[in-house]
Amino acid sequence: MAKPRAAETRKRTRIQQEKEDRILDAALDVFSVHGFRGSTIDQIAKAAGMSKPNLLYYFRTKEAIHRLLIGRLLDTWLDPLREMSADGDPLSEICSYIRRKLEMARDYPREGRLFTNEILRGAPHIQEEMSDLKSLVDEKAKIMRGWMKDGRLAKCDPHHLIFSIWATTQHYADFDVQVRAVLGPAKSGEGRFEDAARYLEKLFLDGLKP
Amino acid sequence: MAKPRAAETRKRTRIQQEKEDRILDAALDVFSVHGFRGSTIDQIAKAAGMSKPNLLYYFRTKEAIHRLLIGRLLDTWLDPLREMSADGDPLSEICSYIRRKLEMARDYPREGRLFTNEILRGAPHIQEEMSDLKSLVDEKAKIMRGWMKDGRLAKCDPHHLIFSIWATTQHYADFDVQVRAVLGPAKSGEGRFEDAARYLEKLFLDGLKP
DNA sequence: TGTAATCTTTACCAATTGATCAAATTTTTC
DNA sequence: GAAAAATTTGATCAATTGGTAAAGATTACA
């Protein structure tokens, strides 16, 4: 055959596997920093070590790459929240949730920035998922309200509680350069995540009153 | 004269005043959503209700507009932190700071997103300001450590304390569409900022223990 | 009111960018 | 080891984009 597109090929070959992975990795690098419109196929191709037409042999369009990355991301992004269980101890459940989100900010900062880029742009590609998100959050908020009624959690607005967890943990991915600039070279090692975890646990449990 | 650039004109005329303001406002709209590379001069010109060459009569380049906006932003962005005084009551000082930052997120969300866009991109245009930022934060961290030593503030890492205030307040500007999606139409009015303020004060003062 | 200065428009340019195609090359399969 | 399938390359395209040149329209001011 003259020119089969990679995706139209009978089976996924070894080369396809490899190259597609390399492209997605490179694209995540580029998209997470420059956003969709700010990224070029050339940039991604170069980062993946191949020519532009070669890249386009594996993915028809720039958007196809982006869509795939966003899809993958959304798949796992909410897992930590899903894991929060009504049966556990309220404060431990919340602390575990914070810890898991912070680990994600540490281990997958590019995915975090990709997500933030998308939200900043007004979430044009993920309207549907936003409504799934609402259902999930409402469900967990209900659990929290139950805990509050039982006197096992301080009374407060559960939606804003969840926002504050998202915000404080995601901050270490999105504002990484600012965090490093402020902490200075000495404290910018991986240890900053342990400091953050310690601080956040204290904040969420006891607040700042002496 | 054939074609004087607006900026090179003897005095700022009424029209210059007006048009430049309109351009900057439109550019803030566009840049804050699409980032620098993702925004086009045409887009900004259209949003400002003028032709592209007309816009370029007032600002030589796209970058000139962006630089000016970023400069303005940085000028006022840190004012609330600067106001935090060692003489005040620690907890009130911190609560005021949170309140002021939240007001900025409410009243200047576009500026907030412009800043976040810049940081996400690795802060390429504001390296110098990042180092000024460190000095200011270090100074305030020192004040906080003093408060802790005196037993007037819970012992914790003051840098991460500041991060958590930035994160929780800025969240309402950057993730606005997500916040609205989660809260639903009923609770997405301006009242959400009062709910946030109430929640955050409670969190930072007392934490979540019942 | 006339004219010099300022402002706006129309037409245009060169570079970049997303994407295609056919030919050349490499890999897999039998 | 040859045929078939898959991969890579180089040339190319049309649209977009940042920016310019110059002529025409408007405004301010004597």
Q: Is the pLDDT of residue B75 over 90?
A: no
Q: How far apart (Å, rounded) are the C-alpha atoms in residues B100 and B103? A: 5
Instruction: Compute the C-alpha angle A44/A50/A52, nearest 5°.
Output: 65
| Closest-CA residue to A87 (of A141, A142, A143) | A143
Q: Rounded mean pLDDT of chain B?
A: 93
Half-sphere exposure in the Cβ direction for B170 (13 Å, CA)? 26
Write down the residue that tokens 């139409």 correspond to: B185
| Short-list B12, B36, B17, CA closest to B123 | B36
- How close does chain B come to A121, measured CA to CA in Å? 5
Tens of pLDDT, residue by residue over B12-38, are 677 788 999 999 999 999 999 999 999
Which amino acid appears at position A71 of this protein? G
Nucleotides of C under 7 A from a protein CB: 5-11, 16-24, 27-28
Minimum-distance residue to D26 (CA–C1'): B15
Beta strands (DSSP E) in B51-133 are none
* Domains of chain A by start residue, with CATH: 6-72 (1.10.10.60), 78-206 (1.10.357.10)
User: Please, which pLDDT band fits residue B87 given cuts at 50, 70 and 90?
Assistant: very high
User: Which residue in chain B has the smallest CA separation from A197?
Assistant: B160
Q: Is B85 left (phi over 0), alpha (psi -120 to 50) or beta?
A: beta
Report residue B123 as tokens. 């802060």
The SS3 assignment for A209 reads coil
Eight-state DSSP code of residue A151: T
Nearest one of B8, B147, B12, B140 to B78, comparing CA atoms: B140
User: What was the pLDDT predicted at A75?
Assistant: 84
Residue range A23-49, pLDDT digits in tens: 999 999 999 999 999 999 999 999 999
Percent of chain B scored above 70 by pLDDT? 94
Q: Is the pTM of this model over 0.85?
A: yes
Ranges of chain A with pLDDT below 70: 1-5, 7-11
Which pLDDT does position A11 carry in this prediction? Answer: 61
CB-defined contacts A:B, below 8 A: 209
pLDDT of B1 above 50? no
User: Residue A14: its pLDDT value, please?
Assistant: 77
pLDDT at res. A1: 36
DSSP string for B175-196: THHHHHHHHTGGG-STHHHHHH
pLDDT score of B13: 73
Q: Is B147 in a helix, a strand, or coil?
A: helix
Q: Is the CB of A4 under 7 A from strand D?
A: yes
Which of B 109-148 have CB under 7 A of nucleic chain D? none
Q: How far apart are CA B140 and CA A145, in angstroms?
A: 36
- How far is residue A196's CA from residue B161's CA, in Å, rounded to a whole number? 9
Nearest nucleotide by C1' from B60 CA?
A: D19
